[in-house]
Amino acid sequence: MQWERDDGLRLRVLGALVVVAVMPVAFVYTMVFLVNAVGFELLAWATDRPWNGRLVVPLWTVVPVVAGGFVVQYVFGERMALRAVGARRVSEKSEPALHATLSRLAAQADAPVPDLAVTESSVPNAFTVGRRPQEATLVVTRGLLDTLAEREREAVLAHELAHVKNRDVTVMTLAYFLPTLTYAVAIAAFFVLRGVFHTAGAFEDVDGDGAKGLVAIIVVLVVSAILTLAVSALFWAGSFLLFRLLSQYREYAADRGAAAITGDPLALSSALRTLDESMGDLPDADLREQDGGLEALYVAPIDTYQFGGDRELLSSDIFPATHPPTRDRIDRLEELAASAEAGP
């Protein structure tokens, strides 16, 4: 079983990079449009005089700012992801067997050897982050090391190495920039709303022209904050929709890659089955703690319908699942094993 280049994944990664680059710029100009279309009208109503100006933001000022945001995400995204799940890098001295297995598999895959990090979570899972293949970090949970047999652990490590070799780790890391940006803007708008309502209660004795002016200010701030929240939510949803559609395809590609690296598709299918069954028995609190906003990166999903009606996470009801159905992944791996056994 040999490694095959996945042109479909390459095209999707390229398309995702283009969209990821364009959407923050679109977000900025949507906000500018709202200022011109609604903001000035609100000011005219509040001050009882026309506002004929327009806010103009040249593209040459937006692009460097957005690029700077991507640079920050590129430099610090990996560190933030590791911190979100409490992962710490482990040396070869502390985890010699795991390092040896990872180095051997990386040599078989002709891929750079990633750094290795472990999080003490009981949720059995793994993911990879990094700016580029040469600087990737593969994270495994203590639950995964304790739950899987050696053959299954190797298959999961090979799956993560396939992500490194496929170069989809970088785009997934950068794709978090827009959700981070829109989240920050939405939080700012929320605090504006909160401040308005708290402040309004302190002016109960204001009357006459002062009361009219206060009402006008409150209306302007509330409408502006609500519109900001709405636009932020729209772009946040769009970014996660793209994020998850790419995530589904890349999981199939990494499954095929793991099968090619190990020559044992059934090892990964067994690992996925074990992970699926093990996570179904875990408390909700453990699963939410392990999420950290990184659910699309894990080898096994933590937000699918496998947990039943009472345990579905909100994102599963609104967005496409982060991963293909585990049963479909297992079936494809079993088909690969049957094809390899049948021979050419």
> Annotated active-site positions, please?
160
User: Please, are residues 87 and 118 in contact by the beta-carbon 8 Å criterion?
Assistant: yes
CA angle in degrees (0–180, nearest 5) for 7-9-10: 60
DSSP letter for 194, please. H
Q: Please tell me the distance from the alpha carbon of residue 114 to that of residue 137, in angstroms, as a whole number.
A: 5
Amino acid symbol at 270: S
Beta bridge partners of 116: 138
Residue 122's alpha-carbon distances to 28, 125, 135, 277, 303, in angstroms, are 41, 9, 26, 14, 16
**Three-class SS state of 125:** coil
Phi, psi for residue 287 in degrees, rounded to 5: -70, -45
Q: Please tell me the distance from the alpha carbon of residue 1 to that of residue 8, in angstroms, as a whole number.
A: 20
Amino acid symbol at 147: T
DSSP letter for 114, please. P
- Encoded tokens for 244: 């998850």
Helices (H), 59-176: 59-84, 96-109, 142-147, 150-166, 168-174
Amino acid symbol at 274: T
Phi, psi for residue 130 in degrees, rounded to 5: 160, 155
